[in-house]
């Protein structure tokens, strides 16, 4: 999964908390993370808030 560039779970009607085990820090090539329009609760993991997504170089 380290080659994952785009993760789109927007509008998937997911609920619950986003746990630290999501492993955003272990996805060095992630450029886009879309999680809006779901029913998550709680706070975002610190690693998600401090993630640095790659800029599009095209």
pLDDT number for residue 30: 83
Helix (H) or strand (E) holding 48: helix 46-49
pLDDT > 60? residue 58: no
Question: Would 54 be classed as within a structural domain?
Answer: no
Domains: count for the chain: 1
Question: Would 50 be classed as within a structural domain?
Answer: no
pLDDT number for residue 11: 96
More confident: 8 or 49: 8
Residues 34, 10 contacting (CB under 8 angstroms): yes
Q: Which domain holds residue 19?
A: 6-45
pLDDT number for residue 56: 53
Question: Would 40 be classed as within a structural domain?
Answer: yes
Question: Would 55 be classed as within a structural domain?
Answer: no
Neighbours of 18 (CB within 10 A): 17
Question: Would 58 be classed as within a structural domain?
Answer: no
pLDDT confidence tier of residue 22, bands split at 50, 70 and 90: low
The model carries a pTM of: 0.67
């Amino acid at each position: 999964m380290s080659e994952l560039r785009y993760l789109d779970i927007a509008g998937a009607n997911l609920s619950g908390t986003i746990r630290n085990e999501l492993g955003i820090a272990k996805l060095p090539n992630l450029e886009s993370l879309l999680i809006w329009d779901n029913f998550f609760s709680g706070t975002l993991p610190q690693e998600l808030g401090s993630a640095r997504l790659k800029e599009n170089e095209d």
